[in-house]
Chain A
Amino acid sequence: MVDENRYNRRMASAASSSLDAPSDLRPSLFELFTTWLHIGATSFGGGSATQLLIQQHFVVRRRWMTPEAFAQDWAIVQFAPGINLVAMTVLIGHRFGGAPGVVVSLLGMLGPAIAITVAMTALYTQVRHLPQVQSALRGVTPALVGLSIAFMWRLLKGPLYGLRRLGNAALVAGLALLATATALTALGAPVLVAYLIGAAGLGAVYALRFRSAANHAHQG
């Protein structure tokens, strides 16, 4: 019984104290830095490709993390503000090296990437006045809009799937919130207002639907 309690507590704190990996399989600060450096320099565009790359390094190649611990960290990262991949870098860095681990991981993951991003932008400003560059930008702009539409559709799929499972009323409420955010922004309301209404509105919808589902049957 005591053992079981200890086990449960251990499982509960596994995300922050990394009890899931044997201590001899933990990376040093230097290894942590070079691994993130590798990931940062070879990842393009971010998203699921980079997620896979991180998994390759930490789970498959070095076996510093179990697949379960990685999945758990990725789930936690979804609750953090900002870029998910940066939050993942922070979380894994902290798991293996505390505050210094966070610093070296961020430096490795973002240092070269930021330097290259700034250098590319600076180079661009040297040539932006050329008429050909302006023409190229006129072609690239609608492509970015098209890309972003596809990207946003992919973003939408998760919430729409979740809403559909909650029933038609929830789905309609979600679509109404989507339309509200669009209308508010089109009418010039602050983006923050649209975001708050979306987040609070759907939070309320989920809470209500789950409560009624729990009353009806087995949902917890």
Chain B
Amino acid sequence: MDWLTFFLLFLKASLLSTGGRGPFPYLYTDLIARGWAVESNFAEALTVGEISPGPSGLWVISLGYLTAGLPGALLASLAIVIPPLLVLIVVRIHDRLKSFPATAGVLDGLVLAIVGSGVVVLASLFASNGVNVVTLAIAVIAAVLAFDGRTPTWALLAGAAIAGVLWLP
């Protein structure tokens, strides 16, 4: 394992994105291309991120553990703590930043790109898991329940796990 590259890939993913899911397309393409992760690692890590306490963005740390053990988890932790520290610089230039209309555009454009790239990566994850009636039904039901917002995420995932045990042997 090339630890420096490993760390820099995780740092890039967090630094050049925003939010908990922003690093997902980066890590998915970079780690799978290098053979350091397989598709299912991302489902595993995202699940842990959803059911463990703290921001769901901590899924990246779970991914670090799954791909490179405890040192991987530590490097991933560092990589997601460093970029938000830049808020201390942002706070000094916030008033100037805010006065440019382009600033809001850059942030909104980043969100558009995260969604655009994210959809592709999600489709790849879905396909690698197997496309059939049951998996399609689970995805649609999960999306509808999540839109609705009344079902807690852990209950949704638990239901999907039970459906998997029953119908996806």
Give A residues with C-beta under 8 Å from B. 12, 15-16, 40-47, 50, 76-91, 94, 102, 106, 109-110, 112-114, 116-118, 120-122, 124-125, 128, 131-132, 135-153, 155-156, 158-159, 162-163, 174, 177-182, 184-186, 190-192, 194-195, 197-207, 209-211
Contact A128 B147, CB 8 Å, known A114-B58, A199-B106 = no
Give the 10 A-B CB pairs with smallest separation, nearest first.
A139-B164, A113-B54, A181-B116, A202-B109, A206-B105, A198-B113, A146-B142, A143-B160, A82-B83, A150-B146
Tell me, rounded to whole Å, the shortest Cβ–Cβ distance linking B53 to chain A: 5
A78 to B98, CA, bound (A): 11
Interface residues as binary, B44-84 with A (CB distance below 8 Å gives 1, 0 otherwise)? 11111111111111110110011000100100010011111
Question: Is A185 touching B116 in the complex (CB atoms < 8 A)?
Answer: yes
Whether A83 pairs with B84 at a CB distance below 8 angstroms is yes
How far, in whole Å, are A16 and B46 apart by their CA atoms in the complex?
A: 34
Measured in the bound complex, the distance between the Cα atoms of B119 and A185 in whole Å is 9
Task: Please measure, in the bound complex, the distance between the C-alpha atom of A210 and the C-alpha atom of B103, giving whole angstroms.
Answer: 12
Given contacts A16-B91, A82-B18, A150-B146, contact A140 B117 (CB under 8 A): no
The interface on chain B, measured as residues whose beta carbon lies within 8 A of the other chain's beta carbons, has a size of 107
Which of B92, B115, B138 meets A152, CB within 8 Å? Answer: B115
Chain B min CB distance to A95 (Å) = 9
Query: B139 contacts A143, CB within 8 Å?
Result: yes
Least distance between A214 CB and chain B CB atoms (Å): 9
Which residue of chain B is the closest to A211 with respect to CB atoms?
Answer: B101
Say yes or no: A143-B138 contact (C-beta < 8 A), given A138-B129, A191-B29: yes
Q: Determine if B53 and A185 form an interchain contact, defined as CB atoms under 8 angstroms apart.
A: no
Cβ-defined contact, A86 with B80, below 8 A: yes
Partner of A139, one of B44, B73, B114, B163: B163
Q: Which of chain A's residues have a CB closer than 8 A to the CB of B169?
A: 131, 135
Contact of A141 among B40, B80, B94 (CB under 8 A): B40
Using CB atoms and an 8 Å cutoff, list the residues of chain B in contact with chain A. 12, 14-21, 25-26, 29-30, 40, 43-59, 61-62, 65-66, 70, 73, 77, 80-88, 90-92, 94-95, 97, 100-122, 125-126, 129-130, 134-136, 138-147, 153-154, 156-157, 159-165, 167-169
Distance in Å: Cβ of A50 to nearest Cβ of chain B: 7
Q: B116 near A81 (CB under 8 angstroms)?
A: no
Q: Tell whether A150 pairs with B113 under 8 Å between CB atoms, given A139-B138, A141-B129.
A: no
Minimum CB–CB distance for B11 against chain A, Å: 10
CB-CB under 8 A from B115, the residues of chain A are 152, 155-156, 178, 181
Residues on the B chain within 8 Å of A120, using CB: 48, 51-52, 62
Other 14 A-B pairs with CB < 8 A, given A80-B86, A202-B105: A16-B91, A40-B54, A86-B84, A90-B84, A114-B58, A122-B65, A141-B135, A143-B157, A143-B159, A146-B143, A150-B146, A178-B113, A191-B29, A195-B113
The residues of A that contact B125 with a CB separation of less than 8 Å are: 141, 144-145
Q: Is there contact, CB below 8 Å, between B117 and A142?
A: no
- B108–A158 touching, CB < 8 Å: yes
In contact, A203 and B103 (Cβ under 8 angstroms): yes
